Structure 1
């Protein structure tokens, strides 16, 4: 089961989602999308997420409050750090517990300090909460297939443009050269059809 929330502090609104527990979060970790931003209370269990630079600060604050509020330990604490990074930066090894991750590049991990739970933010987000049972693997496979089809289409169009461009270059080169003038079908003879006379008149 996955919970979806809408952060409407900006327009267009951002969709936030989190697993109901660590097994659902494991699916989010495994089948996330490259533009997903992943949030987690640093060093304690918690809930989870364009590029980070594209996410407005108000949405980051909403996500941090949501993560803190849904953390078993983080919800009881003040001054907790919430870390966030792009989904692609998540590192999962077979030896890790369910829901546990590390990072490929620590320098790409951002951090926001949440001093305390702000109930008005959490309550606003909870009013948008919906519950769904998505198949993350299927969604990711569909997305990847659509992306591959788009890439193939772009490559076909690029090849067609290259062919047209190459043909134009060849035609222009031919016009600039004398080769087109020297073709046999454009030549005429100065022979006088059997008249051996040297006279021009």
Structure 2
């Protein structure tokens, strides 16, 4: 089972999903199926706590997450830690892709590919208003992780294909415009410059009425 929370830290019109495994076995599953480009991993430093995942809005830089949103995820960690709930804690977070799980690790245990890419912030004391607000949104749901990943990958492929088609159409339109511009310049060059003999002949030809004498025509 997976626990889902909804944070309104960015406003009611932009809810952010925070989720966690109900136990250490579910945490193992979440490590396999998080969204690489969007999910942050959040935990209480040096204490037992839930492994929290914060799903960032599309395009948000993980190093520029608003403090209020981080505090929401951090308070879920703190509230779920037997020791941490009673004291000031340091919350650690990083991109979920930075989490390293080796085969010889105990269930639920992880480390980091690069410890330098782990950020920290402090929560001095529990803020009940935050915890209560988030608990009101909590939903426990059975998740078919593999099916959700397949559907997500399908949607990602669809978006990438649409973006590729849009780029191809834009390139085609640009090529057509360039061709039209080149043809227009080529046509313009067919006309003689003003003041030359060729220009005068072109002017006479354009202005003469039908039946007028053409000096280049042979006659008897």
Residues 180/140 of structure 1: CA separation in 2 closer, same or farther (3 Å cut): farther
Equivalents in 1 of 2:103, 2:6: separation in Å?
Answer: 33
Q: Give the 5 Å matches for 1:31-180.
A: 31-33=33-35, 34-47=37-50, 48=52, 49=54, 50=56, 51-53=61-63, 55-76=65-86, 78-177=87-186
Please state how far the C-alpha of 1:151 moved relative to its aligned partner: 0.7
Post-superposition Cα deviations, 1:119-165, rounded to whole Å, max 9, x if no partner, equal 34323322222211112232222112111111112112212222232
Between the aligned partners of 1:14 and 1:199, the Cα distance in structure 2 is 88
Report what 1:187 is aligned to. Answer: none
C-alpha distance 149-80 of structure 1, shift in aligned 2 (>3 A):
same
Question: In structure 2, do the counterparts of structure 1 residues 84 and 199 end up closer, same or farther at CA, with 3 Å as the change threshold?
Answer: closer
CA contact (8 A) 1:9 1:59 kept: yes
Q: Shift of the alpha carbon at 1:178?
A: 5.9
Assess, with a 3 A threshold, how the Cα gap between structure 1 residues 178 and 63 changes in structure 2: closer, same or farther: closer
Out of 16, 26, 29, which is 1:27 matched to? 29
Q: What SS does structure 2 have at the residue aligned with 1:37?
A: strand
Looking at structure 2, the residues matched to 178 and 124 of structure 1 have their Cα atoms a distance apart, in angstroms, of 71
Which SS does the other structure have where 1:162 is aligned?
helix
Under a length normalisation based on structure 1, what TM-score does the superposition of the two structures give?
0.77
CA separation of 1:168 and 1:127: change in aligned 2, threshold 3 A? closer
| Structure 2 Cα separation of the partners of residues 199 and 4 of structure 1 | 95
Structure 1, unaligned runs of 5 or more? 182-197
- Provide closer, same or farther for how the CA distance between residues 150 and 23 of structure 1 changes in structure 2, counting only shifts above 3 A: same
How many residues align structurally?
Answer: 184
Q: Structure 2: where are the runs of 5+ without partners?
A: 191-216
Moved more, 44-53 or 13-22: 44-53
CA contact (8 A) 1:174 1:180 kept: no
- TM-score calculated relative to the size of structure 2: 0.71
State the partner residue of 1:17: 19
Please report the RMSD computed on the Cα atoms of aligned residues, expressed in angstroms. Answer: 2.6
**Alpha-carbon distance in structure 2 between the residues aligned to 1:123 and 1:162:** 53
